Amino acid sequence: MLDFSEEHKVAQRLIRTWCTERLAPRVPEIEDAAGPPYALMRDLCATFGVADMVRAAFAKARSTAADPAQARRPTVGDGPLMTILMMELSRVCPGFAMSFGASLGLCGGAIIARGTLTQRERFALPVMTMEKIGAWALTEPGAGSDAFGSMATHAARVDGGWRLSGSKTFITNAPFADVFVVYARDRTTTLTPAVRAFVVERGAVGLVTGAPMKKMGMHASPTGEIFLDDVFVPADQLLGGEDAANERAAAKTSLKSERFGMTPMCLGIVDRCLDESVRYAKERVQWGQPIAAFQLVQEKIAKMYTARTVIHALLMRQLEAERAGTPLSLEEASASKLYCARTATDVAMEAVQLKGGAGYMRDGIVEMLARDAKLLQIGGGTDEIQILRIARQVLSGST
């Protein structure tokens, strides 16, 4: 796959129109935390009939099984189309894209991938149709990069279910989410405690979420803490049911998806920075000529174009692997995230530099893109963690 199909390009133009006409005018409002972005996300879903498509996918999954309990997992969304959506949202507001992706992709996606039929219908369906907002809770205050080894949140089996205690931090959508996928150590095992995942609903006694955190960037994406004080979770909300395996591997799969999912976000940021830089370089006159005539400016634009070309190629490789059913490795996800996140941050900062004082002002989009891009080097595993993982696998000869 070298590029999107003509049908996907038509969809891309429609999505870009929505982003320009509906999202862009609201960015200052949601950036200043005047209100969470969820009403606008529901507008997006309503405009493009997302809820109807999701319900149709669930209905099709049910109808293909003679025994409803054996219904296959619904395939929600077209891979290239969802990629285009994340890319176009990120061109206008990466924080909006982050919040949208965390709810549908991480929370909803985890329940669809590993939940029972009942769990998919009860919890994933309303998240995927945006009736409810989801959050995926893995990170803890003392266990950032060492998510599993230092996990302190624990679960104890009791009559009728489980009791969860602990806390999570830096969780996208936490302050407003309705449904949480929470990871905890299973204290009922004595040797190498397994990691379990639970679906917890807002309103559960003992579950409290903090106010939205104040951050350097991604202001349009509410981030917060989750506190679990002896929260009772019914047995049927253990993700995957009683037969569920240790969730370490499944959580790593979600992390891989998150890392690959950052590629279209990075491409959207780089693409918009290039567009803004080219436009400004042609319009801005200095010493009697457009600054586009200066070689140092041309070098910046050439580097941005090169970055966009490489990230686009990486994205097409990911989509082709998905189409062919040949999943890429976790190490390749790390390599892609490392390169794309660093490059997006560098390009955004170069766009600020090229525009000078105008680029540093908040009413110019590249200032927001530069702040937002930095999170992509931290969330989903820092640059340093990606480097360690890649190097370990290369040196072991297992790549």
User: Annotated active-site positions, please?
Assistant: 258
Rounded-to-integer distance, Cα 309 and Cα 290, Å:
25
Name the nearest CA neighbour of 163 among 233, 227, 241: 233
The answer to whether 221 and 376 have CB atoms below 8 angstroms apart is no
- Reading the block at residue 391, the tokens are 């190097």
Q: Is residue 48 within 8 Å of residue 104, measured between CB atoms? A: no
Please give the Cα distance from 177 to 245 (Å, whole number).
Answer: 26
Report residue 14 as tokens. Answer: 């429609």
Local structure of residue 143 (DSSP, 8 states): B
Determine the 3-state secondary structure of 204 from DSSP: coil
**What is the rounded distance in angstroms from the CA atom of residue 292 to the CA atom of residue 198?**
55
Helix axes 79-92, 247-283, angle to 10 degrees: 50
Q: SS3 of 140, please?
A: strand
Bridge partners (DSSP) listed for residue 232: 163
* Closest alpha carbon to 202 in 163, 172, 233, 157: 233
Q: Give CA–CA dist 75/354, Å, rounded.
A: 43
Rg (CA), the chain: 22
The span from the CA of 363 to the CA of 73, in Å, is: 44
